[in-house]
Amino acid sequence: MNADAQKLQNLKTVVIYSTLGLGTATGLFFLGRHLYKKTRANISQKHSLEVGDPATFAKQLKMAFDNDNYMGWGTNEPMVIQVFNEIPSKSMYTKVQKEYANLYGRSLNADLEEELSSDEYNELIRILNAKK
């Protein structure tokens, strides 16, 4: 019985230390992921001050969503259209999407669909499709 009790105690110890190790590894993974995303956002933020940079376009779009009109609500649709007209190509738009996700942790397309009417969204798609 003493040998069985010792084996049970050893099993409990192994399970406890394995659980603690797994929990620590998971915590370190999530901490590393958070720091990586934060670093990417900081890099994007620094580039957002350069004219023609994808992060600049992403920031302008977010400001158009949040900057609202004089009444205090709604999206500045003319600004969104203006930014889309300034984006030079489809490949640049792909980079803008990536920078938008880095800066705000959200999908640009999802925010466009949420902020704009279907006619306005379709107009942006037409503008984008006309680019090289």
pLDDT, tens only, 62-84 = 888 886 556 656 677 888 888 88
**Predicted pLDDT at 73:** 67
- The structural domains of the chain, with segments of one domain joined by +, span 1-37, 48-129
Task: Report if pTM > 0.75.
Answer: no
The CATH number of the domain covering residues in 48-129: 1.10.220.10
**Predicted pLDDT at 95:** 92
**Predicted pLDDT at 46:** 65
Checking if the pLDDT of 121 tops 80, the result is: yes
Nearest to 74 by CA among 115, 106, 114: 115
- pLDDT, the chain, mean: 83
Q: Let me know if 126 is exposed, middle or buried by CB neighbors in 10 A (0-12, 13-18, 19+).
A: exposed
**Predicted pLDDT at 79:** 86
For 19-50, the pLDDT digits (tens) are 999 989 898 888 888 888 777 777 666 665 66
